[in-house]
Amino acid sequence: MGGKHGSFAVLLCAAAVLLAAAPAESEIGVNWGTRSLHKMSPATVVDLVRGNGIRKVKLFEADPDVLAALMGSGIEVMVGIPNEMLATVASSPSSADLWVSQNLTRYMVKGGVDIKYVAVGNEPFLASYSGQYQSDVLPAMTNIQQSLVKRNLAGTIKLVVPCNADAYESPSLPSQGAFRPELTQIMTQLVSFLNSIGSPFIVNIYPFLSLYGNSDFPQDYAFFEGTTHQVVDGPNIYYNAFDGNFDTLVSALSRIGYAQMPIVIGEVGWPTEGALSANLTAARAFNQGLVNRVLRNQGTPLRPGVPPMDVYLFSLLDEDGKSILPGNFERHWGIFSFDGQAKYRLDLGNGLLKNAKEVNYLPSRWCIVKPDRDLSAADNHFRTACSFADCTTLDNGGSCNGIGPKVNISYAFNSYYQLQKQNPRSCDFDGLGMVTFLDPSIGECRFLVGVSDAKSSGSRSQSRWVIAIMMTFGYFWLSFMTYGFF
């Protein structure tokens, strides 16, 4: 009997070693940005994330309302230190202590927030920043790490630095990948630091931007369905831009001595508007193709069978408050619209996306141009409305492009009216605007109704029948006043 028990123990040990050696399965997370002009309550967004079986979110800052909503959710969280704060944290250990105290320890209580990563900056080595944040990254990481050690959190929370893919380059082939010459030294120091604390390298990869920025880029190479423009790199063949970009990073890491460095994809996705190649069909094809690969634990030619540790889709929601300097598409990366409605059929491994529940919409009414008014003086009002509200869907590549000048103005008026929480005065426009209870949406061009950032309450649900009656009377009145018939 003793011999049998000994053999069984050996088998158990061998099994444990095999399990430890096996790569952990990748998971799909999401980036939750908050630069929206129409914000749902954070509690509603957390419900949306949980309802879709998403277990990881990446935040770009430590928003107290968002972190409060994540308390007890069981969702793994990455919080960010914005680039603008790096100099302060880098210059003062006490500032790092204060940041950790205010943004980490206060939420890491029993039943609190499961904070796994702190992102020190966001793409701080981006070439367009011209080195503005470069010297602050490592000192900031050092100070934050020391603060974590003092609070016994260093084993729980890992520091990372999300990098844009422009941190490395390849003359032609993935195997020739290397970090930009001016970054080689600091990247070697950074990766050494990350390796010493058991953190992965985080990279943001965007095949869409490669397609958008290069008219010669083969479109099918941006997706995962195969291509006639494959890249042959010695014994390896690349059939999509994602694999090629990923392995360029693997080569760059190998050149500085870290060939096995774990990699996480911090951002990847496809927008639905704002460019000719940005549409619902393309976004669904790219994201579903990516998700299917992740769920199959499919690696790349340089890392076969070893996929990225995790992949965070960009992004959860559209953000109509973002800068459009890179392009109108910047406001349309969400797999959900601003109000948590799925934009297309996408299965993250838990069934098709489910819409947000209990969204606290403003009443169903819109601001449009009065049918009988001369619009010669409307241009200034149009420009004013669009300087505050988001009108990017009206431009080339947008879902409302081509709906006609008069409807364009109505769209702008309504966008501003909803942004102003349907204040009646915000629909005046020197007498050109009017409120309607008839949805003026046309085809795929959706005239939005704003949302409140307070979570819906039962009392509002109970009063919906009152709103419905008011809307019915409003419909008949408006039809009569506008068209002369019901």
Asked if 444 is an active-site residue, the reply is no
* Tokens, residue 345: 């059929």
Query: Could you say which of 267, 273, 319, 330 is catalytic?
Result: 267
**What letter represents residue 473's amino acid?**
F
Which among 334, 305, 304 is positioned nearest to 319, based on CA atoms?
334
Query: Could you say which of 27, 61, 123, 273 is catalytic?
Result: 123
Residue in this structure with the two tokens 């603060």, named with its chain if needed: 147
- According to the 3-state scheme, what is the secondary structure of the chain? CHHHHHHHHHHHHHHHHHHHHCCCCCEEEEEECCCCCCCCCHHHHHHHHHHCCCCEEEECCCCHHHHHHCCCCCCEEEEEECHHHHHHHHHCHHHHHHHHHHHHHCCCCCCCCEEEEEEECCCCCCHHHCCCCHHHHHHHHHHHHHHHHHCCCCCCCEEECCEEHHHEECCCCHHHCEECHHHHHHHHHHHHHHHHCCCCEEEECCHHHHHHHCCCCCHHHHCCCCCCCCEEECCEEECCHHHHHHHHHHHHHHHCCCCCCCEEEEEECCCCCCCCCCCHHHHHHHHHHHHHHHHCCCCECCECCCCCCEEEECCCECCCCCCCCCCHHHHCCCCECCCCCECCCCECCCCECCCCCCCCECCCCEEEECCCCCCCCHHHHHHHHHHHCCCHHHCCCCCCCCCCHHHHHHHHHHHHHHHCCCCHHHHCCCCCEEEECCCCCECCECCCCCECCCCCCHHHHHCHHHHHHHHHHHHHHHHHHHHCCC
Distances, alpha carbon 484 to alpha carbons 82, 317, 368, in Å: 56, 41, 18
CA 93 to CA 104: how far, in whole Å? Answer: 16
Cβ–Cβ under 8 Å, residues 445 and 411: yes
Asked if 25 is an active-site residue, the reply is no
Active site residues: 123, 267
